[in-house]
Structure formats: C-alpha cells, structure tokens
Structure 1
C-alpha cells in the first residue's frame, strides 16, 4: 500500500514591510474560505472597473475604493493582531499590490481560475529579455 504524508503549516506566514513592520498571516486557509474571499475581491474590483496594472490613469475616488477592497481582502487572511496594525498602516500602492499577489500565490497556489475581469495582474519578470535566439530553435 502506498503512503503519502501531507504537512500542514502551523507557523504564521510573515510579510516583512520595511524594517519595522511584520504582518502575520494565517498558517493555513481552507480552500473554500480563500475562494469566497477571492470572489468578494474580484466582485469589488469588477464593480469599480479599475485596472490594477494602470492605477495612475484611474479616477482618484475609484482608486481609493479599490484600495479599500484590497485591504479588506488582505485583512481577512491576517491574524487578528496584524489585522489591527494593517488597518492604520499607510502603504504605497505598489506594496499593497505586491502583498496581494504574494497572498494569492500563497493561499491559492497561484491565481484561482475563473473570469479574468478584475483579476490580479501577473508580476512582470525582472530584467530585460535577451535578444539571443532560443537554444530550442537551433
């Protein structure tokens, strides 16, 4: 008989922001619970019609509302002590979006499938693409 052992995370996940702030996230989140929160996030973003990859050109009030939707989603994944600290924490938009991408990867194993409207944009890869021909084409 084959045996497969699965481990569960028991230690909180840590998001270090700057030198002084560490936010603690739940060690494990039930898949359905995560999907429920993620669906609320997507619905909120869809309702606001804001492109997360182009916040600079969005209506200011919609950007504020979008940040509220993002913060609500993130806080639902945090431990209570970090949730309280996060409520008053001022963050640049880029950090908030990076934190969101990290949480989605952490709990969702990547982006959940479904409608792409309002979905979190993929992170751009660091550096520039090379111009050398692919080895597989050689």
Structure 2
C-alpha cells in the first residue's frame, strides 16, 4: 500500500522588503487564488495591457495596472501587512517580483521547503532576456517535435 503525507503550511510566508516584513497567509484555497488571479487578468484585459509587450504601456495603462497588482498582492497578506504594504513607496520591480513569488507559492508552483522565511530568487532585470524558453512555450510542445 502506498502512502503519502501532505503538509499544510501553518506559518505565514514572509516577504522582506528593506527593513519591513510583510506576512502572507499560510495557505489559500485554490479557487480563491484563481478567482483573484482572474480578476487581475480581467483588469489587464480591460486596460489593454499586453503582458508580452510591457514596454508599450503608457501612463494611462500603467497606473491602474500597478494599482491592480498591489490590490492582488494585498489580498494575500495578513491585515497588518496589507495596511503597511498599501502605504509603502516601492520601485515597480518590487511588486513585480512579489507577484511572481505569490503566484509561485499559491498557484501550485514549487513551494518553499522548510522555513517560510526564505526569500524568492530575484527576477532578471527588465529589458534583458535569458536564453531559456518561456514556461508557456516549454509546457505546450509543438506537434511533430
């Protein structure tokens, strides 16, 4: 008989930003995550934001898009951290990196093992591209290959 043990995260995830620690909920139910992600994606569609061409964004699109990302992120934070995050002035790269990490921990990507105090790996700087293929291309192989 096969046996597998599943662990539930009980300690909040910790995002360290400068001297501040933002606490994120230990677990989020899948449908809640998906609903919040769909809302973020709908906002991007309504704004005409093309995630494949962020360089083409104008100020009219960028401001509400950044606000939508911050609302999305705050939705996963414990109340005190969400309040702190709402008032933080941050360079745009921080919410983007935090968004990637939140999607990783709640969206079924590889979850951090051990302590939740580990930090996410930094994203590459905007404008530079790595040589690896994107996840979306890698996950959907073309016919005949």
Query: Matches of 1:92 and 1:51 in 2, distance apart?
Result: 21
Aligned residues: 116
- Tell me the TM-score normalised to structure 2 length: 0.71
The answer as to 2:6 corresponding to 1:6 is yes
Moved >4 Å (runs of 4+): 52-56, 123-129
Q: Cα deviation per residue 1:20-67 (whole Å; 9 max; x = unaligned)?
A: 111110000000110010110111111112245654541112111001
- Tell me the TM-score normalised to structure 1 length: 0.75
Query: Matches of 1:5 and 1:109 in 2, distance apart?
Result: 17
Query: Matches of 2:21 and 2:51 in 1, distance apart?
Result: 24
Query: Matches of 1:68 and 1:36 in 2, distance apart?
Result: 17
> How has the CA–CA distance of structure 1 residues 50 and 128 changed in structure 2, closer, same or farther, with 3 Å as cutoff?
closer
Q: Which structure's CA Rg is the greater one?
A: 1
Query: Matches of 1:79 and 1:68 in 2, distance apart?
Result: 18
SS at match of 2:81: helix
Query: Matches of 1:79 and 1:6 in 2, distance apart?
Result: 24
Displacement of 1:84: 0.5
SS at match of 2:97: helix
Query: Matches of 2:129 and 2:65 in 1, distance apart?
Result: 29
Alignment RMSD (CA, Å): 2.3
Residue of structure 2 equivalent to 1:104: 103
Larger % of helix: which? 1
Residue of structure 2 equivalent to 1:79: 78
Structure 1 residues without counterparts, runs of 5 or longer = 111-122, 130-138
SS at match of 2:4: coil
Residue of structure 1 equivalent to 2:117: none
SS at match of 1:23: strand
Residue of structure 2 equivalent to 1:24: 23
Query: Matches of 2:7 and 2:84 in 1, distance apart?
Result: 30
For the Cα contact (< 8 Å) 1:55–1:63, is it kept in 2? no
Residue of structure 2 equivalent to 1:49: 48
Structure 2 residues without counterparts, runs of 5 or longer = 110-122, 132-145
